Amino acid sequence: MNPVLERDPVKPRIDFEPAAKNGEPKLFRWTASEYRKMAEFGFFEGKRVELVKGEIIEMSPMKSAHATAVRLLVELLGSVFGKGFVVDSQLPLSLGKINEPEPDIAVVEGSVRDFAIEHPKTATLIVEISDSTLRFDRKEKAELYAENNIGEYWILNLRERCLEVYRHPVKDKNAGFIYTEIFVVGEDRSVSPLAKPKAKIKVGDILP
């Protein structure tokens, strides 16, 4: 019999999968549906969380430099992409059954009301702003976005004051989901998004 986590009658009943047959502990992975139910009932009240590969990740409190970079990116990318795109900040992306990340920036094709019923399922460009989360953004987040065919992913590296650019996702038989083009753009140099090749964005203009 599956062990059951009992809640107050008005709260969701969540059935856990049985432990592995060899008696070893088994990681329980949440689905996006279960994750949303828990959020509705206040399980994450006062916390910043996201669902990545079935795990609920609590994000660190946002520092002022991080917040400033978010504002700079929203303003600049909004002007670069213009009409026909939405620049979201820390809003959910629905990437399959066990993933609902909330990237710092997601440039999504369409208009605001296109997503009144469902969260966006893809993005033209995703940007994560990294200080304390650099390893996680380079590994888990890069794998997640590559797996979901996000064509371009940026990490704004606040520690080293540079932009890491990841492009052209593929599935490698040995390495799994990876980006085949990765390069670093310094603070005094510019980058052009794949979707807007004529635009020139100086990295220093999006650093706090």
Ordered per-residue pLDDT tens for the chain, 208 residues: 444 333 343 444 444 444 455 556 666 677 777 777 776 777 777 777 878 887 877 877 889 999 999 999 999 999 999 999 999 999 999 998 888 899 999 999 999 999 999 999 999 999 999 988 899 999 999 999 999 999 999 999 999 999 999 999 999 999 999 999 999 999 999 999 999 999 999 999 999 9
Pair 122, 153: CB distance under 8 Å = no
Arithmetic mean of pLDDT over the chain:
86
Pair 208, 194: CB distance under 8 Å = no
Q: What is the pLDDT of residue 199?
A: 97
Angstrom distance (rounded) from CA 205 to CA 208: 8
State the total domains in the chain.
Answer: 2
* Residues in Cβ contact with 114 at an 8 Å cutoff, skipping those fewer than 6 apart: 86
For residue 196, CA distances in Å to 80, 111, 160 come to 8, 18, 26
**77 and 41, same structural domain?**
no
Sign of CA dihedral 182, 126, 36, 115: negative
46, exposed or middle or buried, with CB in 10 Å at 0-12, 13-18, 19+? Answer: exposed
The count of other CB atoms within 10 Å of the CB of residue 16 is 11
Residue span of the structural domain in which 138 resides: 64-205
- CATH number at 193 reads 3.90.1570.10
Angstrom distance (rounded) from CA 180 to CA 94: 24
**70 and 27, same structural domain?**
no
**53 and 68, same structural domain?**
no
For residue 147, CA distances in Å to 52, 118, 173 come to 12, 20, 13
**182 and 92, same structural domain?**
yes
For residue 154, give the nearest of 162, 165, 145 by alpha carbon.
165
Q: What is the pLDDT of residue 6?
A: 39
**193 and 113, same structural domain?**
yes
Pair 7, 13: CB distance under 8 Å = yes
**114 and 69, same structural domain?**
yes
Helix, strand and coil in the chain, % to nearest 5: 25, 30, 50
| pLDDT tens-digit readout, 5-52 | 333 434 444 444 444 555 566 666 777 777 777 767 777 777 778 788
Pair 59, 82: CB distance under 8 Å = no
**176 and 115, same structural domain?**
yes
3-state DSSP assignment of residue 77 = helix
